[in-house]
Structure formats: structure tokens, C-alpha cells
Amino acid sequence: MVKRVARADREPSTLLRGLRVIGIGIRQEPAIFSVAVVMSALYGAGTAGGGWVLGRLTDHVLTPAFEAGSISGHDLLTTGLVLAGVAALTAVGVVGRRVAAGLTSFRLQARYRRLLTRQYLRLPLEWHHRHPAGVLLSNANADVEATWQVFAPLPMAIGVIVMLIVAAAAMLVADPVLGAVGLLVLPWVVLLNTVYQRYMSPAVTRAQAERGEVSSVAHESLEAAAVVKSLGREASETERFAVYADRLRVANVRAGRLRAAFDPLMEAIPTLGTLTVLAVGAWRVRSGAIATGDVVQVAYLLSLVAFPLRSMGWVLGEIPRTVVGWERTSAVLAETDTMPYGDVTPAPGGAVGVELSEVAYAYLDNDGERYEVLHDVDLSVRPGSTLALVGPTGSGKSTLATLLVRLVDPAKGEIRLDGTDVRELRAGGVAELAALVPQGTFVFNDTVRDNVTLGDTRFGDDDVWRALGVARAEAFVRHLPHGLDTVIGERGADLSGGQRQRLALARALVRRPRLLVLDDATSAIDPRIEAEILSGLDSLSDAPSSPAGPSVTVVVIAYRRATIALADEVAYLENGRIADRGTHAELLVRSEGYRRLVTAYDHQDDEEPEPGPATGDRPDDPAERLDEDLDDLTGMTRR
């Protein structure tokens, strides 16, 4: 505790940390920020110079005109041109400052959003398991905006400093006494901002944290919209969201109250200073110490800088948000979790052989404790064969699938593809060899073409149609209004479950993988169509099939017997270990756990309605899909 307190005592103030962040931003956008500062200085000098010009015009034009009872046209034109010139100069400064300041702020925001996105893509899947998606979205949106929003008022505040220097010199030259009275405003402004910083910083920190929580809960609710609605839990989900939204409201209201108390005081101080200058100035004029123009000049300058002076308050008010946003953003950018790569390039060839040796993997729970889901897994898959992974829920099948395509690395052991440890392959090497079609079918709100290619320009329309054909998706895609150019609704809402799965299959197949991992990726597809898909995989490869079998190795996580029957071999997982391995018939005889699992639904009626000719999809009811009659596959054999 003592060490922690000591570190807190040594921690720089919020203002100092904010100035460091501003320095980082200036170094990254020096040219545009310099333009903003120059334009702001021009605005400040023009504004302050306007006060000096007004004082001179009062003494040399207006006062004589009042004494004479008239003013000449030449004097009037000269006065107008001088004031118009000062106004034009100030306007150029204002426009230039606003444009350059906006560019600085938005360019920095864009830069750091790109950096965060690249960091999200670089960080391994294990890191993402520990960080809610909603918080990451808040980092890339609200936190980045909070960090660099300070650059919108910052150039104006710098211009105000120039303005204050010019105005202070002009006021002191006009009358040292009135100038000193006017300059008394500045210490009060500094003192008020110091107090404001002390209270505002923790309030903004809390509000930023609550904003991330709200974003996380909202993301969960939107992701699970179908579940919530289908189970009639809209009210409870709304109530759950309301709790977090109310916390954010309370935090924002507290910050708003502090700002509401600060702003009127910030505005009142220059106003009170102007009134004081007028009172002292009237006394000085009456005593003959100064001219009327001097009072007008000082009062005008002080009232003129009153509003721009608030920009210094805006900057100081933004600094707590800047510090909080930067700390949350830089924490992600500073993450060092990485997935190391070697320099081995995958050798060209046909189907890939897979070997797992003493592979183990563990997840971290909410308390930081490791929960091991795979234990000393030894497994080999012959090139060109099909292996079905079967096991009860929680046995580690999906984890094993992610390990095979190296979305995560094992805690111990090795995974070798064609004899090469996946950690020795260069970046992108595993993706060249293997493709995973996961349980959750994700479809983008984009065209069919882009959903299949994911924007990879290596694949032309012929490649897309070829993959769609093997995935048995060609027929329904051709019937869409615009074929490959048809924009699919968000998450594929315009497609059936089977169509979405076949589109996801085509996305993997267009890359012509030599190892295809299917994590229950055909559960909504009719067994006949599934058999046709698996038997057609060999047609994707440019390499000829070997006498031993096709040129694609398939590892499929299976739940129904119709899928298992298509496999050359079955590996039965139980409690994170390979409990048995063999053909489907062999395991039925010798493995009680396997037999109990695959025959669990034998009491149900085996007859199912025939699929429609256009889709070939299975019924949407999960209970109807749990068991597929092996007789449906009579006469179908895999190549």
C-alpha cells in the first residue's frame, strides 16, 4: 500500500499529462498544426490590433468630429477602410484556423483509429477473449475522439495568447494603471481553471469508463437480438441496459454540472474586469490623466478578449478527457501479446497431413485462473482423408479446430502440418494451407461476391462460381435478383440457414485449401447435399488427386450420424482427451461413451420431410435435425 501511494504521489498532474499528449499530436501533424497556429496568431493580432486602431480613431477622428460637429468624407472613408482591413485580416485568420484545427483533430483521430484496428487484427484471439467487443469499439470511437478533440480549440487558445500579449502591450501603452487593472483578470482565470481541473478529471474518467460499459452491453444486446426476442426477454434486457445507461447518465450529469458551474464563472471574470476598467477609466478621464480614447481602447480590448479567453478554458476543460482517452487508447496500443511466426514457406502440393503431439490448451476465467480444456492430445490425420471429431459438449472440439488453423497456440505440445510446426511457418502460411468454417456463420452486409472473396482481388468471378458450385450454392445465387452483385442483408437475414452455411463454405473453398476444418458447418444442410459437397472438394484443387484419395484433407466436427458416416475415421473426444479412435462401426462396438452419444436420439422418428428443390436445406427446428437416417446416404460414396 505504501509503494502504491508513493507512486501516486509521483504521478504527474492531469495538466502535465495532457500537455504531453498534445505534444505527441503536434509531432505527428506538425505542418497542419503550424498553419492553424499561424492563422490563429493572425486572428489574435488582428483582434487586438483592432482595439488599438479603434482607440486611435477615437482620439484622432471621432473626438475631433464631435467637437467640430461634423466629419469629412475623407476621414469617414479612411476610418471605414481601416476597420474593414482589420476585419478582413481577422476573418482570414478565423477561417484558416478553423479549417486547419479541424484537419489536425480529424487526421489524428483517423490515424489512431487505423492504429487501433491494426492492433486488434495483430493481437491473438486469446487477447480478444479477455476483452469485450463493446469496450474495444468504445476505445476506437469514443476514446480516440476524446483524446484528440482538444486540437479543435487548442489553436484558438494559442491565438488568444498572442492576442493577450498584443492587447496587454497596447493596454499598458495606453495607460499603465488601466492596463494593470485589466491584466488582473488573468490570475483569476488560471486559479479557476486549476480548481476546475481537480474536480473535472475524476468525473470525466468515470464517464469514459461508463461509456465503455454501455457500449459493451449494447453490443451484446444487438448480437443476441434474435435470442432475446425469441425468448421474450426484451423487458429484462432493457432493464439490464437501463442500469448501465443510468450509471453513464449520472457520470455525465456530474461532469456537466461541473462544466455548468465553470462556464458562467469563466465568462463573469472578464466582464467584471471590463466594468472595473470603465469605472477606473472614468475616474482617470475626469482627473485629466488620460484621454477618452485610452479608456475606449482598454475597455474594448478587454471585452474583445473575454470570449476568446474562454477558449483557454475549453482547452483546459478538454484536457481531462484527453488524458483519459489517451490512457485507454495507449493501453491497447501498448499490448505486447503476439503470435510469433517463423520464416518457413509452405511447400506446394496436395492434401496436408496433420499431426498433434501432446497438445494442451487452457482458457483464463474471470478470476484469472486457468481452465484446461485439452489435455495431452495426440492425433494424426492422413493426407486426403476425412476425420470426424465427435464428443459431448465441452469436450474441446471447437478449441481443437481453432488450434488446427492457428487462431490460438497450444499451451504445450506441437501441431504440425506436413511435418512443419505451425509456429515455424511465416505469417499467412497457415492461411495458405488451411481454412476454417466455424459454427457461427457470419455473413456481411455486402454483395455475394465480396462475401465470398472478402475483397481479395486474386479471385475472379470464375473462381467464385466454382466455389459456389462445389458448395452447392450456385443455384440459389443465380436466382438472386442481381446474382453475385446482390447485396445480402445484415448477417444474411435475407437467406435461409442452409444458404448462409453454403455461402460460408464457398468463402473457404474459393481459397482452395489443402486442409478444410468444418466446425459443425453443415448442420442446416441436407445430408444428400452435404455428401455432394464433401465428394466435390477434390475438384477445387489444381493438383491431381493421388491414388490414395482426394487432394483435400478434411477435419469435420460432427454431431449427426449422417455426417459421421462420410468420414474415413472418427476420433472420439471426452473430457479434453482422445478417448478412442477408429471407424464409426468400430467405435459403436467398443466405445460405450461414443455409442451412447451418437445413438442418443434413436427413439425419435427417423423420417424427415424432403427438402425443397431450390435450397436443399434441412428443417430449421433443431430437434428435427438431431438425427439423420443413414439410409439417406445409401449409394453415396466419397471419392
* Predicted TM-score (pTM) of this structure: 0.65
Amino acid identity, residue 296? V
DSSP secondary structure code for residue 346 in this structure: P
Name, in order, each residue with C-beta under 8 angstroms of 307's C-beta and a sequence gap of 6 or more. none
Residue 105: pLDDT band by 50, 70, 90 thresholds? very high
How close are the terminal C-alpha atoms of the chain, in Å? 69
Spans of all domains in the chain: 12-333, 354-633
Q: State the maximum Cα–Cα separation within the chain, in Å, rounded to a whole number.
A: 122
Q: Is the pLDDT of residue 370 over 70?
A: yes
CA pseudo-torsion sign 256, 260, 261, 265: positive
Quick one: pLDDT at residue 372? 84
| Amino acid (1-letter code) at residue 439 | Q
Tell me the residue type at 135: V
HSE-up (13 A, CA, CB side) for residue 247? 16
pLDDT for 351 equals 87
Residue 325 has pLDDT above 70, yes or no: yes
Residue 311's pLDDT is what? 64
What average pLDDT does this structure show over 183-207?
A: 73
Residue 301 and residue 45: Cα distance in Å, rounded? 11
pLDDT in the model for residue 606: 45
The whole-number pLDDT of residue 146 equals 87
Q: Which CATH class is domain 12-333?
A: mainly alpha
DSSP letter, residue 487: B
Cα separation of 247 and 597, whole Å?
Answer: 47
Q: Would the pLDDT of 240 be above 50?
A: yes
Q: Is 69 left (phi over 0), alpha (psi -120 to 50) or beta?
A: left
Segment 575-612, tens digit of pLDDT: 889 999 999 889 988 888 888 888 875 544 344 444 44
Secondary structure class of 184 (helix, strand, coil):
coil
Task: Answer yes or no: is pLDDT of 626 > 50.
Answer: no
Relative to beta strand 515-519, strand 553-557 is parallel
Higher pLDDT, 441 or 606: 441
CA distances 169 to 45, 206, 297, 300, 311, Å, are 12, 43, 12, 14, 21
Between 638 and 402, name the one with better pLDDT. Answer: 402
Write out the DSSP string of 538-550: GGG-SSPPBTTB-
Select from 3.30.110.30, 3.90.1150.10, 3.40.50.11740, 3.40.50.300 the CATH code of 354-633.
3.40.50.300
Q: Which of 5, 329, 369 is nearest to 146 (CA)?
A: 329
Helix (H) or strand (E) holding 247: helix 234-286
**AA identity, residue 96:** G
Q: Cβ of 176: how many Cβ atoms within 10 Å? A: 11
When comparing pLDDT for 524 and 553, which is higher? 553
pLDDT at 112 over 90: yes
Written as nine digits, the cell of 562 is 449422417
pLDDT tens-digit map of 144-167: 988 998 888 888 777 777 777 776
- Most confident of the ranges 191-195, 432-436, 599-603, 629-633: 432-436
| 136 pLDDT higher than 70 | yes
By the 8 A CB rule, do 47 and 308 touch? yes
- Beta-strand pair 354-364/577-582: unpaired
Rounded (10°) angle between helices 234-286 and 292-333: 150
Categorize the per-residue pLDDT at 367 as very low, low, confident or very high, splitting at 50, 70 and 90. Answer: low
Mean pLDDT, residues 442-464? 87
pLDDT given for residue 614 in this prediction: 41
3-state secondary structure of 438: coil
The Cα 248–Cα 253 span in angstroms is 8
Banded pLDDT at 75 (limits 50, 70, 90): low
- Are the C-beta atoms of residues 15 and 318 closer than 8 Å to each other? no
**What are the phi and psi torsion angles at 204 (to 5°)?**
-70, -40
Question: What tens digit of pLDDT does each residue of 393-403 get?
Answer: 888 888 899 99
Band of residue 313 on the pLDDT scale cut at 50, 70, 90: low
- 107 pLDDT higher than 90: yes
Q: What is the DSSP string of 279-303?
A: HHHHHHHHTTSS-HHHHHHHHHHHH
In tens, the pLDDT along 489-518 reads 766 677 888 888 888 889 988 888 899 998
Q: What is the mean pLDDT of the chain?
A: 78
pLDDT greater than 50 at residue 321: yes
Mean pLDDT of 227-246: 81
Q: With a cut of 90, say whether residue 114 has pLDDT above it.
A: yes
Please give the pLDDT value at position 570: 92
**pLDDT, tens digit, for every residue of 270-290?**
777 777 777 777 787 777 777
Instruction: Decide: 359 and 412 in contact? Cβ < 8 Å.
Output: yes
Residue 555: pLDDT band with limits 50, 70, 90: very high
Cα torsion angle, 540, 545, 549, 554, sign: negative
Q: What is the mean pLDDT of residues 54-78?
A: 66
**Which has more pLDDT, 225 or 336?**
336
Which of 125-139, 303-317, 455-469 has the highest average model confidence (pLDDT)? 455-469
Residue 175, helix vs strand vs coil: coil
Distance between CA atoms of residues 88 and 85, nearest Å: 5
Q: What is the pLDDT of residue 72?
A: 65
Segment holding 269, helix H or strand E: helix 234-286
Q: Give the pLDDT score at 62.
A: 65
